[in-house]
């Protein structure tokens, strides 16, 4: 995997993905959609139901989801106090559904763009309107992989020296590749 984004010179970025790269990126984004889950009430587009839907008041039990949807108050290692827990629950209840919807839309934008390649590789262009969606979608993937791999800042250098026999190696390669994609997209769009 060696493709990275390059500036198109008109506010966009382009990348040449081979079939394997496109397939891996699409698969990861589909898995992200499964992790995030469907909107409340399923796939209904009823705006009235969405307006009155309330989100969960409890933090997710899955560590990856907790990383994607952290508590707004308190935090890891913070002392558990009832008032902070109550504020976090209330904040989550009114914001998590919107945050999930945005993350779902980001992942779907990437999947749709990759589907536009017709199941094969090819050049894919990201315009200024999709820039934030792509960055968000790749960031969500990296955060999820980091949790699954139990990566900390201290471990980052060790990822490069992981032996091929380590069962985490494919996920580590994806994690590092996504970091390169994210950085190259940012450079292409701002440089």
Predicted local confidence at residue 156, as pLDDT:
75
Predicted local confidence at residue 170, as pLDDT:
94
Predicted local confidence at residue 182, as pLDDT:
96
CB within 8 Å of 36: residues ≥ 6 apart: 65, 68, 100, 103, 104, 107
- Could you say which residues of the chain have pLDDT below 50? 1
> Domain segments of the chain: what residues?
6-190
Tell me if residue 39 falls in helix, strand or coil: coil
Predicted local confidence at residue 50, as pLDDT:
59
Query: Model pTM?
Result: 0.89
Q: Whole-angstrom Cα distance, residue 132 to residue 17?
A: 20
Task: Give the distance from CA 154 to its chain's centroid.
Answer: 22
Predicted local confidence at residue 179, as pLDDT:
94
């Amino acid at each position: 995997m060696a493709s990275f984004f390059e500036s198109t010179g008109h506010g966009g970025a382009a990348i040449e993905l081979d079939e394997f790269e496109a397939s891996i990126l699409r698969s990861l984004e589909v898995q992200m959609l499964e992790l995030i889950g469907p909107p409340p009430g399923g796939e209904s587009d009823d705006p009235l139901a969405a307006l009155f839907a309330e989100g969960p008041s409890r933090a997710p039990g899955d560590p990856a989801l907790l990383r994607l949807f952290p508590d707004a108050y308190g935090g890891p290692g913070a002392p558990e106090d009832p008032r902070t827990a109550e504020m976090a629950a209330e904040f989550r209840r009114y914001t998590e559904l919107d945050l999930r919807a945005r993350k779902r839309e980001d992942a779907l934008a990437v999947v749709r763009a990759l589907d536009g390649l017709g199941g094969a590789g090819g050049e894919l262009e990201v315009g200024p309107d999709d820039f934030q969606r792509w960055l968000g979608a790749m960031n969500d993937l990296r955060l999820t992989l980091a949790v699954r791999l139990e990566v900390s800042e201290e471990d980052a250098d060790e990822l490069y020296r992981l032996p091929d026999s380590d069962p985490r190696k494919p996920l580590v390669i994806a994690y590092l590749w996504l970091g390169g994609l994210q950085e190259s997209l940012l450079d292409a769009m701002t440089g």
